[in-house]
Amino acid sequence: MTGLSAGIFQFDIRCGEVDKNVRTAFEGISQLSDQGAELLVLPEMWSSGFDYPALARHAEKTPEILERLSETAARKAIIIAGSLPELAAEKIYNSLYVIDNNGEIAGKYRKAHLFPLIEEDKYLCAGDRTHVCQTHAGRLGLMICYDLRFPEFCRSLAVKGAEIVIVSAQWPSSRIHHWDILLQARAIENQLFLIAANRHGREGDLIYNGHSQIVSPAGEVLVKSDSPETTITASIDIEEIERVRNQFNCLKQRIPSVYDL
């Protein structure tokens, strides 16, 4: 596939209100599908938010949610990605799942960089590896929120062949200018597409103003929104990656021995 329609559903995640969040998310998925989107991205921890006291209970519902996502993805022939709480061996992870358009789970990434300012590192376990998965839309690299601040992380996805990097996030408005800049930087330095879904709304003292967006390999923001609950779409031409890299290929011109990381 060289071209596809990508979409993001940006909404206010109600902390601990799984049933409400799931209803809202599936309404957004239906809207995006009706708009012709083939690859859909949802925000971070979209089913429950960071409801730490009850997170294990919320995570128990994730397999059922994944079944519904798989059925919807297969029926509508769409790819769905988003972060959910995962319970495994009595540990809880913040995991980004990708459901391919045949309903199969194409990939899963457990968040490696847990954000200390919201005590994520105290309640969740960290993943220990990056992940690139093969889908009908091409090779997708997976990132969650705070991962965006670590350039080596996204570079490793590019080196592993990612053509599109998915970012599922809850990034607050107080640092939204960092979000905007870092998304463009990661796209430019790795010469690939980024599809970044952020939440909108308020939780306690934290305000979220969205800025979900799709960024091209040249750093062009193809679409962006700061509206409360919204769907956005943009057409992605995978061949643009090759056109940009044919001008100069940053990945091939790396000199890892010089960096000594």
Burial track 186-213 (b if 16+ CB lie within 10 A, e otherwise)? bbbebbbbbbbbbbbbebeeeebbbbbb
Which amino acid is present at 222?
L
User: Any catalytic annotation for residue 145?
Assistant: yes
R_g of the chain computed on alpha carbons: 17
The residue annotated as part of the active site, out of 76, 86, 133, 145, is 145
Cβ 86 vs Cβ 124: under 8 Å: no
Q: Which of 44, 120, 163, 240 is catalytic?
A: 44
Residue 111 a catalytic site member: yes
Report CA dihedral (178, 179, 181, 186) to the nearest 10 degrees.
130
- HSE, CB side, 13 Å, CA atoms: give it for residue 129: 6
CA atoms within 13 A on the CB side of 144: 29
Asked if 44 is an active-site residue, the reply is yes
**Encoded tokens for 167:** 């970012």
Active-site residue (options: 38, 76, 86, 111): 111
Residues labelled as active-site residues: 44, 111, 145
